[in-house]
Structure 1
Amino acid sequence: MKMTPRKLHLKSFLLGLGLTAGVGFAATQVSSLVPHVFSAGTPIKASEINANFAAVAQGVQDAKANGLPTQSGKAGAYLKTDGTNASWAAAPGTTVQVRASKGGGSPGEVLPVSTPNSVPALISFPANFIGVPAGTGNTWDGSTFTVGASGAGLYYVQAHLLTVDHATPTTTTGVHVMIELNGASYGSGSNMYGVYPTSNNQNMPSGLKGRGMINYMLYLNAGDSLKIKGLSANSAYTTQLAATAGSNLLIARLN
């Protein structure tokens, strides 16, 4: 006997598709999403199906109205909301923002002598740069770190500097290291200053006799900027920084 192919009824197909989509949800879960929940053996009205589709469509419109990102996902980020709009943000926890050094090559900056009226030299870290993670808007140009619109938080900053040995190594001078915040002048309480360095490290190996270091945890707001600056630890002799990987900077966001 020859079988006649059955035609697919579009309306029935859509109805079945809608019912299948609800598999895996308890009735109480479905009822919170759509106005009508169907069970086996009960008649289904077109008006009820249309009402369910309308509820789903309204949910989509509400999501768009609440500013949900169109991007379905973003590696290393999480979705946050201010109660009205949603956006992607850097994942919580410690993230390295900057890891850089002075690297090799010609000697670095010459640091002026240390006096109350001295102007500290800006120190750059151009080598081995690791980019700032996406999602915060933070930036780093080799000497200035600026906090972006979503970058406010607690930060850890560490700078370590080595100097070029003097012709008479035992007279090599250490470095006063400071963190300059938002362009505040030398002597401002807004800045962070390192401990007084030992200026005569005659028993240290060559290349390590003059050095300086600073470590701070500080809260940075959106728009804040910081720079690393330095002075010679001597009021009579300038100090030249060594352009080596030992002169380096680390900035990490703790939360």
Structure 2
Amino acid sequence: MKMTPRKIHLKSFLLGLGLTAGVGFAATQVSSLVPHVFSAGTPIKASEINANFAAVAQGVQDAKANGLPTQSGKAGAYLKTDGTNASWTAAPGTTVQVRANKVGGAGEVLPGSTPNSVPALISFPNQLTGPAAGTGNTWDGSTFTVGASGAGLYYVQAHFLTVDNATPSNTVGVNLMIELNGASYGSSSNMYGAYPNVNNQNMPSGLKGRGMINYMLYLNAGDSLKIKGLSANSTVTTQLAATTASNLLIARLN
């Protein structure tokens, strides 16, 4: 009779342990988490209960040691682990990293195009969409830098439009390039747009001086890119950039 209260107490204890370690798991799954699984009528030893609690406590410590984020969730992100630590990172699939234009910015004039030319840096200071959370990617108005978790395949599109020359037929086109990691003009590391060999004289007013570049490229963490450009003429500079139309899009594809 004296042992009955103790048996009831131990069973209650065991129930609490089962709820702690086994909610949502089948019996076979629970057995992989704790060293002892009990069934009805099985004698219960304090040492076995203590061993189960020790296993649960160790699991909690392991979770803390693996650097699990404290947030219960983060919009537009998923939990990523490198095998040791876990962090929230941008969801897979296409995400717009930068969408910007030149509204309110400078109107560059691009120099003539020769083998020794120094392309002009083109800025897009009016940012409409910023880098996705969880990548570490940054954009400062003219330089896009890939963050620690931002490596992947990217699509880059830049469109540069100039105002027409006072004599529309003298309007000069634009030759754009994507400069990677500060590589100089002429480097095979950079991406170059198609050189416009013909004038755009038959285009409507305001569209005669223009250039566009589109590329898909793989970027590693720490890589950076800029948009630069030259006139599509070796001796004539372009007209002033049209600050209401030139735009940039950078999207991560995976």
Q: Could you tell me the TM-score, scaled by structure 1's length?
A: 0.88
Equivalent residues of 2:10, 2:44 under 8 A apart? no
Corresponding residue of 2:79: 79
Q: In structure 2, do the counterparts of structure 1 residues 55 and 113 end up closer, same or farther at CA, with 3 Å as the change threshold?
A: same
Q: How does 1:34-73 map to 2 (within 5 A)?
A: 34-73=34-73
Count of matched residue positions in the alignment of Structure 1 and Structure 2: 245
Are the structure 2 counterparts of residues 19 and 183 from structure 1 closer, same or farther at C-alpha, using a change threshold of 3 Å?
closer
Q: How far 1:136 sits from its partner (Å)?
A: 1.2
Shift of 1:127: 1.4
1:185 aligns with 2:184: yes
Q: Which residue of 2 aligns with 1:116?
A: 115
Which residue does the alignment assign to 1:148?
Answer: 147
Percent identity, please: 83
CA drift of 1:243 comes to: 0.4
Whether the aligned pair in 2 keeps the contact of 1:179 and 1:228 (CA below 8 Å) is yes
1:225 partnered with 2:224: yes
User: Where does the alignment leave 5 or more consecutive residues of structure 1 unmatched?
Assistant: 1-8
Verify the 8 A CA contact 1:94 1:252 in the aligned structure 2. yes
- 1:254 and 2:250 are equivalent in the alignment: no
- The match for 2:3 is none
Moved more, 66-75 or 17-26: 17-26
Describe the superposition over 1:62-98 as per-residue Cα deviations: whole angstroms up to 9, x where unpaired.
2222333333322222222222222222221111110
**CA shift for structure 1 position 11:** 6.9
Q: Retained in 2: the 8 A contact 1:107–1:164?
A: no
CA distance in 2, matches of 1:23, 1:130: 43
Cα offset for 1:13? 5.2
Whether the 8 Å CA contact 2:98–2:127 is kept in 1: the answer is: no
Alpha-carbon deviation of 1:42? Answer: 2.9
Question: Which residue identity lines up with residue 63 of structure 1 in the other structure?
Answer: A
Return closer, same or farther for 1:127/1:217 CA change in 2, 3 Å cut-off. Answer: same
Q: Shift of the alpha carbon at 1:248?
A: 0.6
The verdict on how the C-alpha distance between 1:185 and 1:51 changes in structure 2, with shifts beyond 3 A counting, is same
CA distance in 1, matches of 2:28, 2:43: 20
Deviation at 1:35, TM superposition (A): 1.4
In structure 1, give the amino acid aligned to 2:196: P
For 2:203 and 2:65, the matched residues in 1 are separated by 65
Amino acid at match of 1:96: V
The one-letter amino acid paired with 1:228 is: I
CA distance in 2, matches of 1:56, 1:131: 43
In the other structure, the counterpart of 1:243 is: 243
Change in Cα spacing, 1:23 to 1:193, as seen in structure 2 (3 Å) is closer
**Alignment of structure 1 residues 155-234 onto 2, 5 Å:** 155-234=154-233
The CA distance in 2 between the partners of 1:106 and 1:122, in whole Å, is 13
Q: 1:214 to 1:37 in 2, by over 3 A?
A: same
The 8 Å contact of residues 106 and 123 in structure 2, kept in 1 or not, is answered as no
Structure 1 residues 23, 236: CA separation in 2 closer, same or farther (over 3 Å shift)? closer
Equivalent residue letter for 2:195 = Y
Answer whether contact 2:148 2:221 (CA < 8 A) is retained: yes
Change (3 A) 1:19 1:116: closer
Write out per-residue CA displacement over residues 96-125 of structure 1, whole angstroms, 9 at most, x where no aligned residue.
Answer: 11011112x576111111122211110000
Q: Secondary structure at the match of 1:87?
A: strand
Aligned counterparts, 1:89-108, within 5 A: 89-103=89-103, 105=104, 108=107
